[in-house]
Chains A and B, each alone.
Chain A
Amino acid sequence: MNDAMSIPHLIMNASTVVQLVMLLLTVGSILSWVVIFQRTFMMRRARKAHRGFEDRFWSGVDLNELYREVPPEQETQGAEHIFRAGFREFNRLMPKTRSPQAILDGVQRSMRVAWSREEERLNLHLVFLATVASASPYIGLFGTVWGIMGSFQSLSMAQQATLSTVAPWIAEALIATAMGLFAAIPAVVFYNRLSAESGRLLGKYEDFAEEFHSILHRNLQGRSDAGGA
C-alpha cells in the first residue's frame, strides 16, 4: 500500500459530489454522537432522580410536606413531575366537588398530561438518531455509486485498464460507504439502547402514576366513608 492509497489522500482526491456526501455523513455522525452522549447522560440522571424520588416517596413522608418541599415555580422532572401535577389537581378539586369520581378523573387526566410531557422529553432527538441510522448507509451508497460512475467515465479515456488503474478509484468511492456505515452503526445501536431505556423509565413513571392514583383513591374512599358515617 503506497501513499496514494492512504485514506486522507483518497478523501482529498475524491470528486466534489463524493466529498459533499462525505461531509454530510461526517456532520451526521458528529451530531448523532452529540445526541448519543447527551441522551445517555440525561437518561442516567433521570434514572438516578427517579430512584431518589421513589425512596423519598415511600419513606412514609407526609404528601403535603413532599409537595411543599419544592417551590411551585421550579420545574421538576420525571415521577416527581407526575406527582406534583396530580397532587396539585387533587388539592384544587377537593374544595370544589364532593364527588370522589370527579376528583380522581381530574387527577388522572392531569397525570396523563404530565406523563406525556415526560415521554416527549425523554424521546427528544431520538428520532434524529433513527434518521441517521437508517439514511446514512443509503447516502454513503449514493456517494460510492457516484464515485464509481466517475471512475468508469475516466477509465473510458484510459488506454489500458489494469487493476492498479482501477483500484484507487474504487477505494476512493468505497470510502463513502464506509463513512455511511461508520455513522449508521453507532446510531442504530444507541437508538435501540436509548429508546429501550426511555421505554423502561416511562413504564416506571406509569407504574408510579397508578400507585399514586390508588393512594389518592384510598384516601378519598376513607374520607367519603368517614363523611358518610
Chain B
Amino acid sequence: MARRQARVGYGVPTLLAVGLHVLVLLFSVISLPTREHEPSASSIVQATLVSTETVTDQAQRAEEARQRALARQAAEEAAAQEEQRQAAEEAATQEAQRQSDQAAEEQAREAARQAAEAEAVRRAEEAEAETRRLQQQRDAEAEAQREREAEAQRRREEEAAQQREAEEQARREEEAEAQRRREEEAARQREAEEQARREQEAEAQRRREEEAARQREAEEQARLAREQAEAEMQRLIEGADERVANAQQGQQAANDFIALVRRAVEQAWRIPPNISSGATAEISVRLGPSGELFVAEVSRSSGDSAFDRSAVQAVEAAAPFAELRQLPAGVQRDYRQFNLRFRPGDVR
C-alpha cells in the first residue's frame, strides 16, 4: 500500500546526488577538450612561410661540410707528415751531434791511453837511468875500493864484497821493483782499455735503444694525429647531419614566430569597409636582421587596392618584429622572408 511506503529513505537520493555531480564533472572534463579542437575560425590573417631553405640546399650544405672536413683532414695529414719529417731531421742532427761527441770521446780516450803509455815508458827509462847511475856509482866505488885496497885490503875487500853484495841485492830489488811496476802499469792499462771498450759498447747500446724509442714515439704521435683527424672529420659530418635536424627544429620555432607576427598584424589591421568576404591578398614581407621591416609589398593582389593598402599598412604598423632575435641564430637568416595572406573572413 502507498501508505506503507510513505517514509522515504536517504540511500537512493544520495546515490542520485553523487551520480549527478560525477556526471557534471565528466561533462566539464570531456566537453572542454572537444571544444579545444575547434579551429579558431576567426583567424583573419593567415601567414604562410616562404622558406628559402630547401631540402636540396640542406643536402648541399651537408656535402659542403663533408668536403670541408676532407680538406681539413688532408691539411692535417700534411701537417703530420711535416712534423714527422721535422722529427726525423731533428733525430739526424742529434745523431750527428752524438757522433761528433763520440769521436771527441774516443780521441780523449786515445789521448789518455797514449799518456798512460808514455808514463810507462818514462818510468822504465827512469828505472834504467837509476840502474845506470847505480852502475856508475858502483864503478866509482870499485875504483875507490881499489884505491883504498892498499890501506885496508882484506877488510875493505870484505867490506866491498859485503857492500857489493848489498848493492847487488839492492839492484836486484830495484829491478824487481821496476819489473813489478811495469807489470802493474800494463795491467792497469789493459784494464782501462777494457773498461773504455765496455763503456763504449754500453753507450752504443743505449744510443740504439734511445733511437728505437724515439722512432716509436714519433710513430705513435703520427698515429694519434691521424686518428684525431679522422675523429674531426667524423664530427664535421655529424655536424652536417645535426644542421639538417636543426633546420626542422627551426621550422617549429619559425612557426611560433609566424604566429606572433600574425597576431601582431591582426591587431594592427583595420579592415576597410565594403570588402567582400572572399577577398584575399598576399603580402611579401622581408625583415632585417633585428626584425625591422625592410620591405612589405603586395605579392598577390586581391583586386581591391584599398584592401591591399590596408594589409600593407597593417604589416608596417605591426613592425618591428623583435621576436626574430629569439629564433635560433642559424635559422634567423632563413625566416627573414615570408608571405602573409590576408582575408577578412567573417570578422569585420
Contacts and interface: CB of A to CB of B under 8 A. Distances in A.
Interface residues of A, number: 29
B29 A45 contact: no
Contact of A46 (B6, B18, B33): B6
A48 B5 CA distance: 11
Interface string A167-180: 00000000000000
Contact of A34 (B3, B5, B10, B28): B10
B12 A45 contact: no
Interface string A15-45: 0000000000010011101111110011001
A7 B29 contact: yes
Please tell me the size bucket of the interface on B: 20 to 34
A41 B8 contact: yes
B303 interface: no
A1 B32 contact: yes
B6 A77 contact: yes
Contacts of A99: none
Interface in A53-103: 53, 70, 76-78, 80
A228 interface: no
Nearest to A178: B28
Given A33-B20, A37-B13, A77-B6, A1 B28 contact: no
Nearest to B33: A6
A80 B3 contact: yes
A37 B18 contact: no
Contact of A8 (B8, B13, B14, B29): B29
Contacts, number: 63
A7 B28 contact: yes
Interface string B18-34: 10110010001100110
A76 B2 CA distance: 11
A53 B3 CA distance: 9
Given A7-B28, A30-B21, A49 B16 contact: no
Say what secondary structure dominates the interface of chain B: helix
Interface string B292-333: 000000000000000000000000000000000000000000
A49 B32 CA distance: 45
B13 A6 contact: no
Contacts of A53: 3
B8 A33 contact: no
B17 A76 contact: no
Contact of B8 (A1, A31, A38, A182): A38
Contacts of A227: none
A33 B10 CA distance: 11
A92 to B, nearest CB: 24
Contacts of A77: 3, 6-7
A76 B20 contact: no
Given A33-B16, A37-B17, A49 B8 contact: no
Contact of B3 (A33, A42, A49): A49
B151 interface: no
Contacts of A6: 29, 32-33
Interface string B25-51: 000110011011000000000000000
Interface of A: 1-2, 6-8, 26, 29-31, 33-38, 41-42, 45-46, 48-49, 52-53, 70, 76-78, 80, 182
